[in-house]
Amino acid sequence: MIARSQRERLLDAAIDVVAEKGYAKTTIADLTREAGISRTTFYEMYPDKEACFLAAYDAAADVLARRVAAAFEAEGEWPARTRAGLEALLGSLAAEPAVARLALVDFGAAGPSAQRRYRAALQRMTPLFDEGRDFAPEGRRLPPNTSRMAIGAVVGLIADEIEAGRTEKLPDRLPDVLLAALSPYLGPEAATSEVEKR
Amino acid sequence: MSPRSSVNGKASSSDRTKELDELIEQEQLPAGRADLAEPPVAHSQRERLLVAVAQTTAEKGYNATTIGDVCTAAGVSRATFYELFKDKEDCFHAAMELSLADAMGSIVAVYSPDKPWATMVRDAAAAFLELLAARPTFARMAMIEAPASGERAFQLYASGKRVLQSLLERGREDPVEEEAIPTSAARAALAAAESLIVGQILTGNTARLPELLPDVVYITTLPYLGQEEALRQAREAEREHPAADR
């Protein structure tokens, strides 16, 4: 039990310290100090800074992905459920700017492994988007990578806001983000009317 | 519904080409060049270092790359390195400038004022994907390592994106319902294409990037031309560039 809470404290610390100092400048000493654990305990859990950062990354991505999936399970047709999922995503990111920055902007600095984790985390949203293909009248004619591109558009718009320092205002961007998610499947006109419903 | 058959002729031919040059200059990007082979014929120690920094960062990642690695790969002494560059970031930045010049060059080469906008998008997307596929080392450096390598290279990357965004925004000139297109449309379309390309590079499939042409053409024309026409443009791109079939 104690080991678990130390691990949790360490992962929280990793997110906060990296968000504040950047990955390159973060040291293991920063992490142990922030988490209130010893160096020995650190090395019992992780071999190095990168492993710790990646574990923190996975934990943060996991929480986000589960929140989005739970919201997506709401009632209604695919566009309404996508709206609910994206609302949950924007709300969660706005409530935790440090996690938002780490998850969508700073991961790149930690090198290729972090980049692969990032892609894997994004892929977890694919089934939610793929449903758009079944829902869309033109679903069968859409290009093969439509879901990957729709996810890329959503994440790109969110990352722009975070980099511009507007993380707290992310929920206000729902119309643009929802349009970017729906358009690839429904076309801009039908997607716009879905965005305006409510 | 009808496909765009011509660009609104508000500007003369030379004006429109000049516009693109001005756009590149305004973003303080190096002027386009398209003569860098891979592996480039290294005319100078400087060029050898630029190729070497691209190669080593592509293999090891930017943070893990040392100046020693770059010098070894280039066969150039440390002393020479420091005569030419201030530090690793400076060298990387110069290599980034070179690859951006290439990328802009590939787009300038297909940019013509006489082409309809959609044709220009098809041609530019094809040229860009082929360029990346032909230079996997530079592709990886420019698309993947740039965000990890400090503020300057990241800013260069962002400038390149803004030029593409402005070109895409010209799809607005004659849309069916201009006011219906939100300002975020071009950013969303570019982010979609970028994410697809980066994913393909990260999975080691850089050589097969040209296969993504129909996807890229669809997503970039969609906000301006509507779904039916964007699907038609994607098929047209596939027909024009049969490499995309394989």
Answer yes or no: do A146 and B215 touch at CB < 8 A. Answer: yes
Distance from CA of A129 to the nearest CA of B (A): 14
Q: Sort out which chain B residues have CB atoms less than 8 A from A146's CB and list them.
A: 215, 218
Q: Sort out which chain A residues have CB atoms less than 8 A from B228's CB and list them.
A: 187
How many angstroms from the chain centroid is the CA of residue A59? Answer: 11
A185 Cβ contact partners less than 8 Å away, ≥ 6 residues apart: A132, A133, A135, A136, A138, A139, A142, A146, A150, A191
Answer yes or no: do A187 and B227 touch at CB < 8 A. Answer: yes
Of the candidates B212, B207, B214, B209, the one whose C-alpha atom is nearest the C-alpha of residue B238 is B214
Answer yes or no: do B196 and A149 touch at CB < 8 A. Answer: yes
Give the model's pLDDT for residue A191.
95
* Residues 8-47 (A) with a CB less than 8 A from some CB of B: 24
Distance from CA of A63 to the nearest CA of B (A): 23
How many angstroms from the chain centroid is the CA of residue A45? Answer: 25
Q: Does A188 touch chain B (CB under 8 A)?
A: yes
B7, B108 Cβ separation under 8 angstroms? no
Round to whole Å and give the CA distance between A10 and A190: 46
User: What's the pLDDT tens digit per position in A120-130?
Assistant: 888 888 989 99
User: What's the pLDDT tens digit per position in B108-143?
Assistant: 888 887 888 999 999 999 999 999 999 888 888 888
What radius of gyration do chain A's Cα atoms show?
18
Residue B93 tokens, joined:
């930045």
Model confidence at A154, in pLDDT bands (50, 70, 90)? very high
What count of other Cβ atoms lies within 10 Å of the Cβ of residue B175? Answer: 17
The answer to whether residue A31 scores a pLDDT higher than 90 is yes
Round to whole Å and give the CA distance between B126 and B213: 6
Q: Which of A156, A175, A192 sits opposite B191 (nearest CB)?
A: A156
User: What's the pLDDT tens digit per position in A86-103?
Assistant: 999 999 999 998 888 887
Give the model's pLDDT for residue A174.
97
pLDDT tens-place values along chain B, 246 residues long? 333 333 333 344 445 455 666 666 666 655 544 444 444 445 688 989 999 999 898 888 888 899 999 999 999 999 999 999 999 999 999 998 888 888 888 888 888 878 889 999 999 999 999 999 998 888 888 888 876 677 787 888 888 888 888 888 887 775 555 566 888 999 999 999 999 999 999 888 999 999 999 999 999 999 999 999 999 999 999 999 886 444
Model confidence at A177, in pLDDT bands (50, 70, 90)? very high
Q: Sort out which chain A residues have CB atoms less than 8 A from B188's CB and list them.
A: 153-154, 156-157, 176, 179-180, 183
Sign of CA dihedral A28, A29, A30, A33: positive
Q: What is the mean pLDDT of chain A?
A: 90
Give the model's pLDDT for residue A102.
80
User: What's the pLDDT tens digit per position in A35-72?
Assistant: 999 999 999 999 999 899 889 888 888 888 889 999 99
How many angstroms from the chain centroid is the CA of residue B122? Answer: 14
Answer yes or no: do B187 and A119 touch at CB < 8 A. Answer: no
Distance from CA of B31 to the nearest CA of A (A): 27
The size of chain A, in residues, is 198
Q: Does A195 touch chain B (CB under 8 A)?
A: no
A104 Cβ contact partners less than 8 Å away, ≥ 6 residues apart: A93, A155, A158, A159, A162
Residue B82 tokens, joined:
């420091």
Q: Could you report the predicted ipTM of this complex, rounded to two decimals? A: 0.88
Round to whole Å and give the CA distance between A43 and B152: 35
Q: Does A75 touch chain B (CB under 8 A)?
A: no
Q: Does A174 touch chain B (CB under 8 A)?
A: no
A165 DSSP 8-state letter = T
Mean pLDDT for the stretch of residues A141-160: 95
Give the model's pLDDT for residue B191.
94
Q: Sort out which chain B residues have CB atoms less than 8 A from A108's CB and list them.
A: 144, 147-148
